[in-house]
Every structure is written in structure tokens, then in C-alpha cells.
Structure 1
Amino acid sequence: MIVIGSDHGGLDLKQALTRYLADRAIKVSDIGTDNGDSVDYPRFGLKVAEMVASGSADRGILVCGTGIGMSIAANKVPGIRAALATDVFMGRMAKEHNNANILVLGGRVLDEQEACDIVGVWLDATFEGGRHQGRLDQIAEIEKKYCK
């Protein structure tokens, strides 16, 4: 199951991605926001990150205006590797090299087709492991050092 969340700046793109995921027969849990009223993105970034970190969701997708704020918020949760992607290459590398468990997109940066293409390559890619696992292990050590 994929959990998806957005702020007001990512609402339209989140709704399009939810339809795209449903068309791929992927179960989605949409945690909001549900309207265009201004909301604070950290609240939604935290909820998606906590669900992925706890295992109640397999992966997550976050959308805000640029994707930057959601990336920062989600990456504060230990065990989360939230990757901002602005094209399909970054979407694929987010999984293959970084084993990103949350994909972050910018609702004011990407059009619907670009975003769906990025999500598609991220979903279909496989983590390569090898030298990349060693780097993720180093990131985990940083988390251990600072997340006490």
C-alpha cells in the first residue's frame, strides 16, 4: 500500500497521482489535504513518513508546491529516505541508488504527465544494493548519532 499526502500546493497533482495509482491497481491511502485551503506541509510530511517508518504503508508519495519542504520534513523521521525528483532519471535513481521509500514531487514544478512518469519509473525500479547499500548504511549511522 502507498500512502499519499499533500499540502494545498500539491493537491491537484496528488489527486491526479491517486487516479494514476488506482489505474495501476495499487492500493492507496490518501491522508489529505482534501481542499485548496492553506495548510502546513510538515503535518502531512510527518504523517506519511511515520506510516512508512512504522510499516503501516510500504511506500509514500508527498506533494507540495516545490517538493522541497516535504522532503525536509519527511527526512526528519528515522528510517525515511524521501527523495525529491523532478524528472524520470531522478525518479529511477531515487529507487535504484538510494532505495527511497518516499518519493516527493512539486505540484507547481511538474505537470500531471511528468509526475505520473516519475512515479511509474520509481515504482518499477529495483534497488541495486552493492556499493549503494554501503552508502545507505552510512546514512543510518548518521541517524543513530543524531536521533537519540
Structure 2
Amino acid sequence: MRLGIAADHGGYELKNRLLTMLGEWGCPAEDWGAHILDPDDDYPDIVAPLARAVSAGKLDRAVAICGSGVGACIVANKIPDVRAALITDCYSARQGVEDDDMNFICLGGRVVGYALACELIRTFIAARFQDRARFRRRLRKMAALEPSGNGPISID
């Protein structure tokens, strides 16, 4: 699995700890920034390139971290074919992939601690889309709402 991770200043330290943890798990992730701690950086500048990489198929899944996770989630969902959610529990991390083919999770660096973030990411990367007719139907309906009209690549 090709996994990317990015964070603004609100998640910078957590992102760096998670990168180390992912490497230790044997699931290295690509670091999409920020590469320095800058309290004046803006999450759209960091999250949008990560989301575009998922949209383009360069990454299978991604994790974005900002202070609350909300801004990162809003930005990610502006990009076609990205299905992002703010995740704070393992049920949603799993169910979002299984039912909704979620490919992008957002975490709040000031909300979720390191131990929980590890569990959320572990659950997210272990989950697999359950390719059922009702889930594909829902994905097609979501895709029809996207301005591009292209929709998710993996629904059929």
C-alpha cells in the first residue's frame, strides 16, 4: 500500500512520530510535509497536494493532520475522487473503508493523542473495501455529485 502523510503546524510533531511508527511497522509512508515547524503555515497548502496525489493514483491512502482535523478534511474533500473523513474512533476508521471506500483520514493533532492515532492508522490501513452492490451504488451516487463528473475510479 502506498501511504502518504502530511500535517501543518498543528500536527507536525504527531506526524513525525507517526512516520517513525509506520516505518517500525513495516509500512513506510511518504512524508508530504510540512518539513519544518512553521506556526504560520496553512493547512490547504499542505493537504491539497496530498489529496491530489490520492486522486491521481500516486497514493492509495493518506493521513492528514491539522489542529482539529476539520480543516484538513474540508480541503481533502474538495479534490475529486478523495473520500476523506475526520476520524476519532477505530469503528469509523474501519467502517469508512469497508462501506464507503474511504481513502483519506484526517486527524486532529490537538485532539487525538499519539497512542490513539497509532490505533486509528493501523485500523485504517488494515481495512478493505467490501465490494458489495449497495456500497458500489452509493459510491456512484457520491461520484455523480462531484463537479468533475469522473467519480471514483474503483467503484465498478
Name the TM-score, length of structure 1 as normaliser.
0.93
Partner of 1:19, secondary structure, is: helix
User: What percent of counterpart residues are identical?
Assistant: 36
State the match for 1:17 in structure 2.
Answer: 18
The whole-number CA distance in structure 2 between the counterparts of 1:81 and 1:100 is: 5
Question: Contact (CA 8 Å) 2:19, 2:29: kept in 1 or not?
Answer: yes
What 5-or-longer segments of structure 2 have no aligned partner? 150-156
State the match for 2:97 in structure 1.
Answer: 95
The whole-number CA distance in structure 1 between the counterparts of 2:70 and 2:136 is: 25
What 5-or-longer segments of structure 1 have no aligned partner? none
Question: Contact (CA 8 Å) 2:7, 2:15: kept in 1 or not?
Answer: yes
State the match for 1:55 in structure 2.
Answer: 57
Q: Structure 2 matches for 1:1-148, cutoff 5 A?
A: 1-38=2-39, 39-130=41-132, 131-143=134-146, 146-147=147-148
Question: Contact (CA 8 Å) 1:95, 1:125: kept in 2 or not?
Answer: yes
Instruction: Tell me how far 1:19 sits from its aligned partner.
Output: 1.3
Amino acid at match of 2:148: C
Task: Please state which structure has a larger fraction of its residues in helix.
Answer: 1
Misfit runs of 4+, over 2 Å: none
Question: Contact (CA 8 Å) 1:85, 1:94: kept in 2 or not?
Answer: no
Question: Contact (CA 8 Å) 2:6, 2:34: kept in 1 or not?
Answer: yes
